[in-house]
Every structure is written in structure tokens, then in C-alpha cells.
Amino acid sequence: MTQDTMSLDMYVHGEWRAGSTGDVVEVINPAKGELLATVPNGSQEDLDAAIESAQEGFEVWRNTHPRVRGQIIYRIAETLKERAPEFAELYSLNSGGSIGTGMWTMNDVAGRRFEYYAGMADKIRGDSFVTPGQFLSYTLREPVGVTGHIVPWNGPLWIGSRTIAPALAAGNSVVVKPSSEAPITLLKFAEMAIECGLPPGVLNVVTGRGSGLGDLFTRHPGLDGIYFTGSTATGRRIMENSAGNPVRTVMELGGKSPNIVFADAGMEEALAGAILAIFANSGQICVAGSRLLVEESIHTEFVGRLAEMAKDITIGGPEAEALMGPVITARQKERVLDYIEQGKSVAELVAGGGTPSDPDLQAGFFVEPTIFDGVPNDASIAQEEIFGPVLSVSTFADQDEAIAMANDTQYGLASAVWTQNVMRAHQVAGELRAAQVYVNHYYTAAFEVSRSPYKASGHGVSEGPDAIFEFLNQKSVSIKTGEPPAW
């Protein structure tokens, strides 16, 4: 894997566009702690240009036959899969995940989403209602307009595709602001999408810092909808920003997801699932299973074995194909270590607790897989999203207590239940206040199924057939066909 420093511009109206001020953001390779690229720190002028471009793009795209829209989106899916190795490498260099994760992201997540929504482009339809002799009424489902997308660093395309693909299928134009920590894959993707036949202006990428360009973006009166994925704190700020231009918002925010293991669970599967749930991508996944709730009768054996397994977890840069890569920034590493220090004062540290000693990992932002046992449910490490490889383990006595502890959080993004009792699985799934419930697995939910977050994890529908409605306005048209009764 090469690492020459790149100098990238923004991508607006089918062209690379230098920033108007010359100010840049430095993008760091988290596995090496070295400069990877610079991108413009966009200004109001740059943003105005991107939104004007998207307004022009919208007029072309909404008037493009839906069948043709679907064909172009399908071509994007196919091209992304063909070029998956190149995009996987960019993802790994910039976000720190393994090449294998990058390949999966391009083929089975982002590629799959563009493929899925390509097929939906010409199946958007409304309803009709006849009042005999009075009215023929019908609905028109119309694209929202210029949609603004804000994407976190951990999966620029794996998460970006979740809103960009349905937005395009519904006939909207798109302006994306990627994280200034990981803007590269989305910039290159926008160029690729235009080469696949997307008209100029339909997909634009602006770069710059969240506090700064992000605030200007979410206050911009030219946006017709805001689709945000990121932390709850930033989501709150964006909703305040957008209050002056009260357009539709969809918010996919943070999580602190409970992973519940009952005594009747398949032990080996539950152990492997618990490890994957928190340590894959070093815990930097919104739905990571960061709170493990274990039934008292199996707790000692389960946690003992988990701590042993944590010692064998591989840690390394992208080429190592390790389960755990670096955390994204030096600042995030310090934040995670700070949470670990807090944990030491309230719970028992049974694995990890620091940084790896491997000399090759000293320059990058690596943290050991860390497990705390006996964590009180109100401790900060049990309640706050750490977004790092830190697992809090607590015990429960029975099903009611497990449900109560699982729901005792401000978040409601994901959850998991491990049990061989099918009745219990359904009962617990029904009681958990979370957008997703995994039963006897972790993470492998179908992208074809729609869901909505609970509580401080956000609002709006993501994935599957119903997500398309977040990108459509519904208009009713009533035609007089006779003499309606007098009022």
C-alpha cells in the first residue's frame, strides 16, 4: 500500500474545484500518524457554488426518466464493485479499517445499496382515491429537492451510501459534507459517479471542518432536507442550526448498545459474538455492542473466557487484516484512554487497559481491547458512547432485569439477545427500545429491512424499502369530476 500525500479539491458540478480561500484541512493516516492528504477547508462561497450546482442538477435529474435514473445508479453500483480494491485501499488509508473490511464495504454494503435503490427508481408511485361523481384524487410522490448529507469518518461510503443511494433513486440532487477526518473516498466516489453518467450537479462533495463549514451548511436556505449520521451532540446542534430553515431532517446518531446473554445461550457463539460486537473496527461502529449484560449463573465462566479471548485479538494497520485497527485520531485515542481511567475507579479491569507494546504500533493511534467487569449501570463507561474498544460487563438476575438494564440508556440504536428459547427471544425483542435487535448473532442485519432509531439515537427511517419515503414529498391532487355536496 503506497502513501504519497494527496492534495485533493472539492468536487462540484462534475469538476474538481479548489477552495476559494486557500485554507486547507490536513487528513491523517491513523495507522501511521502521518499526513495522508490535504483538502480545502470550504467557505460560504464554496458552499453557495455547490448548492447552486445541486439546484441546477436537480432540475435535470428530476426530469430524467426514472428508468434511466435507475440504469445510471445501477452502473454506479457495478463500477464501484469493479473498482472495489482501489476504494478499499483509500478507505483503509483514511479510516484505518482493514482492506478486507474495505472490500466488504464496497461490494456488499455500498455497492449493494446502489444496486438495491437502482431497482426502486422506477417503482415510486402514489395512490388514488375516487369519490364517485365528486372527485378523483391522487397522490404525487416528488423528490424533496437539494438534499444535504453529513457523514462520519468511520464509513464514508458504507454510511454515505445509506442516504445517497435512495436520495438519487428518488430524483433528488445531493451535496455531501464528509468528515474532515476522512473525506477521500467520497470525493473519489463523486467523480466516479459522474463518469457513470450522473449529470453534473447531481452529486457534489464539499470539504471542511464540521464546526465552520458544517454550521454554514446546515443553516443554508438552499437545502430542502438534511440527512445526518454522526454523534448525538452534533445531531442536536444541526437541528438547532436548521431551525431557521425548518426542512426535513433525518438523524442517525450515537448508541450504547446492550448485548444480552442468557444462561441458555449457545456459549461459543455468544462469546465470539460478544468479541466481534465490541472489538470489530476497534469499537468504532455506531451499533457496537459496548454493554454486555450476562445472566448471573454463567457470569464467572463467561467473563473469564472473554478476557482470555481478548488477549488473542489481533491489532494492526490495514494490511495486517487484524480485527482491530487504530482509532481515528490522536484526540480520540486520548479520549478512549481517559474513559479507561474512569472505568478503573468504578469497576474491575479484566483485559487491556492501555496501548499495545508492539513497537510497530507506536506511531499510530492504537488502544488495547479493554474489558471492565462489575460495571454499575449508571457509570459513565456504561452510559456514554466511547466509540473505542472498551466493553462494560454487568450482570442480571432474570429476564425482567435484563430488559430494564438494557433500556436504561439515553440511546436506542441496536441490541442483541443470545438465547435458545424462542419465546424469550421474541419477548425480549418486543420489549427492547432499539432500532435493531439481533438474535443469536451480531451485525449481520439485512440492509433490505427498514428501521428507525429510538430516543437520543435519532429519528427517521433508514435502509430497505421505506427509507425512500424520507427522500420524497407527498402531494395530493383532487380533480372535480361532478358536483360535490355544499359545505
Shortest Cβ distance from residue 384 to ligand NDP (Å)?
10
Q: Does 166 bind ligand NDP (CB under 6 A)?
A: no
- Backbone phi and psi for residue 203, each to the nearest 5 degrees, phi listed first: -135, 115
Binding-site size for ligand NDP (CB under 6 A) equals 32
Q: Does 37 bind ligand NDP (CB under 6 A)?
A: no
Q: Does 32 bind ligand NDP (CB under 6 A)?
A: no
Q: Cα(358)–Cα(230) distance, rounded to whole angstroms?
A: 32
Q: Closer to ligand NDP by CB, 70 or 283: give it.
A: 283
Q: Does 385 bind ligand NDP (CB under 6 A)?
A: yes
Q: Does 229 bind ligand NDP (CB under 6 A)?
A: yes
Q: Closer to ligand NDP by CB, 92 or 242: give it.
A: 242
Among 218, 249, 290, 395, binds ligand NDP (CB under 6 A): 218
Q: Closer to ligand NDP by CB, 64 or 281: give it.
A: 281
Q: Does 424 bind ligand NDP (CB under 6 A)?
A: no
Q: How far is CA 297 from CA 255, 376, 395, in A?
A: 28, 18, 9
Q: Does 192 bind ligand NDP (CB under 6 A)?
A: no
Q: Closer to ligand NDP by CB, 421 or 450: give it.
A: 450
Q: Which stretch binds ligand NDP (CB under 6 A): 229-237, 262-270, 418-426, 469-477?
A: 229-237
Q: Does 286 bind ligand NDP (CB under 6 A)?
A: yes
Shortest Cβ distance from residue 194 to ligand NDP (Å)?
22
Among 209, 305, 344, 459, binds ligand NDP (CB under 6 A): 209
Among 36, 84, 198, 413, binds ligand NDP (CB under 6 A): 413
Q: Does 181 bind ligand NDP (CB under 6 A)?
A: yes
Residues labelled catalytic: 252, 286
Q: Closer to ligand NDP by CB, 81 or 177: give it.
A: 177
Q: How far is CA 261 from CA 131, 270, 354, 402, 427, in A?
A: 55, 7, 27, 9, 14
94: left (phi over 0), alpha (psi -120 to 50) or beta: alpha
Q: Does 105 bind ligand NDP (CB under 6 A)?
A: no
Q: Cα(175)–Cα(207) distance, rounded to whole angstroms?
A: 10
DSSP 158-205: HHHHHHHHHHHHTT-EEEEE--TTS-HHHHHHHHHHHHTTPPTTSEEE
Q: Does 372 bind ligand NDP (CB under 6 A)?
A: no
Q: Cα(307)–Cα(349) distance, rounded to whole angstroms?
A: 10
Q: Does 179 bind ligand NDP (CB under 6 A)?
A: yes
Q: Does 153 bind ligand NDP (CB under 6 A)?
A: yes
Q: Does 333 bind ligand NDP (CB under 6 A)?
A: no
Residue 435, H or E segment: none
At 74, is the secondary structure helix, strand, or coil?
A: helix
Q: Which stretch binds ligand NDP (CB under 6 A): 99-107, 146-154, 289-297, 333-341?
A: 146-154
Q: Are strands 34-40 and 24-29 parallel, antiparallel or unpaired?
A: antiparallel
The residue sitting closest to ligand NDP, measured at its beta carbon, is 210
8 Å CB contact between 10 and 205:
yes
Whose grid coordinates read 495522508? 36
Q: Does 40 bind ligand NDP (CB under 6 A)?
A: no
Among 201, 230, 273, 343, binds ligand NDP (CB under 6 A): 230
Distance from the Cα of residue 149 to its chain's centroid: 11
Q: Does 173 bind ligand NDP (CB under 6 A)?
A: no
Tell me the three cell numbers of residue 276: 466481534
Site for ligand NDP in 241-270 (CB under 6 A): 252-255
Q: Cα(136)–Cα(126) distance, rounded to whole angstroms?
A: 13
Shortest Cβ distance from residue 90 to ligand NDP (Å)?
17
Among 166, 171, 214, 317, binds ligand NDP (CB under 6 A): 214
Q: Cα(90)–Cα(273) distance, rounded to whole angstroms?
A: 28
Q: Mutual orientation of helices 184-195 and 66-82 as an angle, nearest 10°?
A: 130
DSSP 196-252: TTPPTTSEEE----IIIIIHHHHT-TT-SEEEEES-HHHHHHHHHHGGGS--EEEEE
Which residues are near ligand NDP by CB under 6 A? 150-154, 159, 177-181, 209-211, 214-215, 217-218, 229-231, 234, 237-238, 252-255, 286, 385, 387, 413
